[in-house]
């Protein structure tokens, strides 16, 4: 089974590309959805996070108040690191199970859509790695439009991440998404052909 890594920066267009894969019949494991599940009330991840951050981060129904937790970790890199460290094992095993389920169904090619592919060191499990790249001005503009945030807020969210150019340098395939959706669609179909091509033994060996 081939696990294609799909990553990029905030607002660079990962979900848009991920939807194109789905629309073309390629199953996608969405790491953000897995990350949501591991914080559900009563789960191991939930217990760890409540123990570390206190009951204040809970809503009255006991679920984690995600925006509140987001604010806390966003403004404090140490707390962000702590949260990532606490949840990482749950997220990796959640992803593993999703991949296993698809493998058992006989899927030969799947896409792992994961914003923190490199940061979580999951890149060693994926080949090829696709990075969706966009120029900084377009990224800022799209992020502000989508999330209705100020320039300052959007900039600080972008700057809190591994620089997109660093991710681009680690890619096997770069999808440039500075142009229109039609341009993206056209580029995507070329990438799809590449992704569906069987790996040669050399490529396989080199990727490990």
We find the least distance from the C-beta atom of residue 92 to ligand ATP, in angstroms, to be 19
CB-wise, 11 or 128, nearer to ligand ATP? 11
Degrees (nearest 5) of the Cα angle 102, 106, 112? 35
We find the least distance from the C-beta atom of residue 181 to ligand ATP, in angstroms, to be 5
CB-wise, 60 or 67, nearer to ligand ATP? 67
Q: If we measure between CA atoms, which residue out of 94, 65, 70 comes closest to residue 80?
A: 70
CA distance 198 to 77: 41
Contact residues for ligand ATP (CB under 6 A)?
Answer: 8, 10-16, 115, 142, 146, 177, 180-181, 184
CB-wise, 141 or 207, nearer to ligand ATP? 141
CB-wise, 13 or 45, nearer to ligand ATP? 13
We find the least distance from the C-beta atom of residue 165 to ligand ATP, in angstroms, to be 15
Q: Shortest Cβ contact with ligand ATP: which residue? A: 15
We find the least distance from the C-beta atom of residue 145 to ligand ATP, in angstroms, to be 6
Q: Cβ of 116: how many Cβ atoms within 10 Å? A: 17
CB-wise, 45 or 115, nearer to ligand ATP? 115
């Amino acid at each position: 089974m081939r696990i294609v890594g799909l990553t990029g920066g905030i607002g660079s267009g990962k979900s848009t590309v991920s939807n194109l894969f789905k629309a073309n019949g390629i199953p996608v494991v969405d790491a953000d959805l897995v990350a949501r599940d591991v914080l559900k009330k009563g789960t191991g991840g939930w217990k760890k996070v409540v123990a570390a951050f206190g009951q204040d981060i809970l809503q009255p129904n006991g679920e984690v108040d995600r925006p509140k937790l987001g604010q806390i970790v966003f403004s404090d890199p140490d707390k962000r690191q702590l949260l990532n460290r606490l949840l990482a094992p749950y997220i990796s095993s959640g992803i593993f199970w999703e991949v296993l389920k698809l493998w058992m169904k006989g899927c030969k090619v799947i896409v792992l859509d994961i914003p923190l592919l490199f940061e979580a060191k999951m890149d060693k499990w994926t080949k090829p790695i696709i990075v969706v790249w966009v120029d900084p001005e377009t990224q800022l503009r799209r992020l502000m439009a989508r999330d209705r945030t100020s320039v300052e807020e959007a900039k600080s969210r972008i700057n809190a991440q591994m620089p997109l150019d660093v991710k681009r340098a680690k890619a096997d395939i770069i999808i440039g998404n500075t142009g229109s959706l039609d341009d993206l669609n056209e580029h995507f179909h070329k990438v799809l052909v590449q992704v569906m091509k069987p790996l040669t033994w050399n490529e396989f060996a080199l990727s490990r």
